[in-house]
Amino acid sequence: MKKIILLLIITFSFSLTNLENKLISYTLEKIFNKKFLIVYTNEKVYPPLIKAKCNKNVDIVIGNLNCLNKPKFLFSYQSLIKDKNAIGAFYWSHGRPQIIFLKKRLKEFNLSIPKELYEYIY
C-alpha cells in the first residue's frame, strides 16, 4: 500500500496541472506569435499547441526530450542552465511558481518575448 501511495505522489508531482499547461501554452503562443504551435512532448497539451512526433515542422520541444536542434521549454532550473537548446523553464521553487527565459538563447533561435513577459527574461 505504501508503494502505491508513493507512486501516485511521484506521478502527480511530475505531471502538469491544467492551469500550468494553459500558462505554458499561452506563453509559448506569445513568443512564437503563431496561431497554432507544433510541439514535441510527452505532456498533455492544450490549444494552441498541437502535439506531433519529432520532425522538421516542430516549433518547440516541451520537456527533457531531444528533437533535432529545436528550442526547448523545460521544467527545472538545473536543466535550463545545462541544456544549450533550452530557451526557458517553468518550475516550482519554495512553493512558488517560477518562469524564466534566457535572453541569449532566445536570440540564438531568433525568438522574441512580448513586453508583457520582459520581467521573466534573464
Q: Which pLDDT tens digit goes with each residue over 16-42?
A: 677 777 888 888 888 898 888 999 998
Set of cell numbers at residue 100: 524564466
Q: pTM, whole model, 2 decimals?
A: 0.80
**pLDDT by residue (tens digit) across 51-91?**
999 999 999 999 999 999 999 999 999 999 999 999 999 99
Contact 31, 73 (CB under 8 A): no
d(CA 118, CA 11): 33
d(CA 86, CA 101): 9
Work out whether the CA dihedral 34, 38, 43, 47 comes out positive or negative.
positive
